[in-house]
């Protein structure tokens, strides 16, 4: 629990921030976009393969549109990505189990399409070369379609084996107009919040959100039997800005506020630093994109926890 004096300063900062936003809107000024270098959605295909895989042949490659033309088609039940490399054409097809639709999650025991039963489908081909007996799985981190059912977003990874469940593997990643969405952290053994653990959270297993009001921004992630929050506030009289590193603590108004907490544990008087790499706001000054790295210590401790927040930025 935070000390009362620190809590009072935070309440004052929130009130000041709300007043500043209200004044800006009343005056007709548009809120400042915190980062001019808005993230560019990525469309790409990359893979690594073990020696002996019929298609990968031990190679590793990465292709990114528009340098290499990549197109996508399909429905909520199945999607196919086509990658036009100069010497061959890669095709990757993902299909939901019979009667289901594609969604964020893990799809195990995939077979060649169309699957014989209720298995998910996975096909991989390079020009005329393919595989009739597939053993694999795929993970979808992000997936969306428009009102017509056309695919508008895909972020997925897969493992493909041909002919045998223990055959050589090709592991690939496909992205279509995807932005980063993840949280990763690590902690020292003596850190009260992280307790020496580490973790990575993606859309296949976790839910993410960002809330902001005034000068306070809070990132939340839930998944993998855990729940974490990262609360950020600029020093008094300021707002968070992209491209800045902030020193955080409870020693005065010149310091920012950082509070990484989770699973019922929070610091008393957290201190450390955080860097805002990218910050995107809408017309109402609400945060819609966030890329932050941080390091935190509980008051009086040298043990640290650190993390990276990527929320559509």
Q: pLDDT tens, 75-87?
A: 999 999 999 999 9
Angstrom distance (rounded) from CA 184 to CA 248: 20
Task: Average the pLDDT over 62-68 and give the result.
Answer: 98
Cα 17 → chain centroid: 28
CB 71 within 8 A of CB 43: no
Looking at every residue in the chain, the average pLDDT score rounds to 89
pLDDT at 8 over 80: no
Task: Average the pLDDT over 195-220 and give the result.
Answer: 95
CB 102 within 8 A of CB 96: yes
DSSP state of 299: T
Give the pLDDT band of residue 3 (cuts 50, 70, 90): very low
HSE toward the beta carbon, residue 107, CA cutoff 13 A: 31
Task: Average the pLDDT over 274-302 and give the result.
Answer: 95
pLDDT in tens, 137-194: 999 999 999 999 999 999 999 999 999 999 999 999 999 999 999 999 999 999 999 9
Cα 75 → chain centroid: 24
Task: Give the whole-number percent of the chain exceeding pLDDT 90.
Answer: 82
CB 277 within 8 A of CB 242: yes
Is residue 199 left, alpha or beta, with left meaning phi > 0 and alpha meaning psi from -120 to 50? beta
DSSP state of 32: P
pLDDT at residue 253, as a whole number: 84
HSE toward the beta carbon, residue 15, CA cutoff 13 A: 6
pLDDT at 96 over 60: yes
pLDDT at residue 38, as a whole number: 81
Beta strand segments in the chain, E: 42-49, 60-64, 70-74, 78-85, 88-95, 105-110, 121-126, 134-145, 151-162, 169-178, 181-187, 198-202, 206-213, 216-223, 226-233, 244-248, 257-262, 271-281, 287-297, 304-311
Higher pLDDT, 62 or 8: 62
pLDDT in tens, 242-266: 999 999 998 778 999 999 999 999 9
Please state whether beta strands 304-311 and 287-297 pair in parallel, antiparallel, or not at all (unpaired): antiparallel
pLDDT at residue 273, as a whole number: 98
pLDDT at residue 215, as a whole number: 86
pLDDT at 271 over 90: yes
222 has which bridge partners?
207, 227
pLDDT at 287 over 90: yes
Angstrom distance (rounded) from CA 286 to CA 213: 7
Contacts of residue 291, Cβ cutoff 8 Å, sequence gap at least 6: 180, 276, 277, 278, 279, 309, 310, 311, 313
């Amino acid at each position: 629990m935070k000390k009362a004096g620190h809590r009072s300063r935070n309440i004052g900062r929130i009130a000041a921030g709300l007043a500043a936003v209200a004044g800006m809107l009343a005056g007709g000024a548009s809120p400042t976009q915190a980062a001019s270098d808005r993230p560019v959605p990525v469309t790409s295909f990359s893979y690594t393969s073990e020696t002996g895989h019929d298609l990968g042949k031990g190679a590793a490659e990465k292709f990114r549109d528009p340098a290499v033309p990549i197109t996508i088609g399909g429905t909520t039940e199945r999607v196919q990505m086509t990658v036009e490399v100069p010497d061959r054409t890669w095709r990757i097809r993902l299909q939901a189990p019979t009667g289901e639709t594609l969604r964020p999650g893990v799809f195990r025991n995939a077979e060649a399409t169309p699957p014989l039963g209720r298995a998910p489908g996975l096909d991989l081909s390079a020009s005329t070369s393919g595989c009739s007996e597939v053993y694999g799985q795929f993970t979808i981190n992000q997936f969306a379609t428009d009102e017509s059912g056309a695919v508008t977003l895909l972020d997925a990874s897969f493992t493909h084996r041909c002919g045998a469940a223990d055959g050589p593997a090709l592991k690939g990643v496909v992205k279509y107009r995807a932005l980063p969405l993840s949280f990763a952290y690590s902690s020292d053994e003596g850190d009260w919040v992280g307790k020496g653990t580490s973790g990575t959270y993606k859309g296949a297993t976790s839910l993410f959100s960002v809330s902001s009001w005034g000068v306070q921004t809070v990132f939340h992630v839930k998944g993998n039997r855990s729940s974490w929050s990262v609360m950020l506030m600029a020093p008094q009289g300021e707002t968070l800005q992209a491209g800045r590193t902030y020193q955080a603590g409870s020693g005065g108004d010149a310091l920012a506020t950082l509070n990484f907490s989770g699973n019922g544990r929070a610091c008393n008087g957290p201190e450390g630093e955080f860097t805002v790499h990218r910050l995107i706001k809408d017309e109402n000054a609400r945060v819609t994109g966030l890329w932050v790295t941080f390091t935190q210590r509980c008051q009086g401790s040298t043990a640290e926890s650190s993390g990276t927040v990527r929320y559509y930025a």
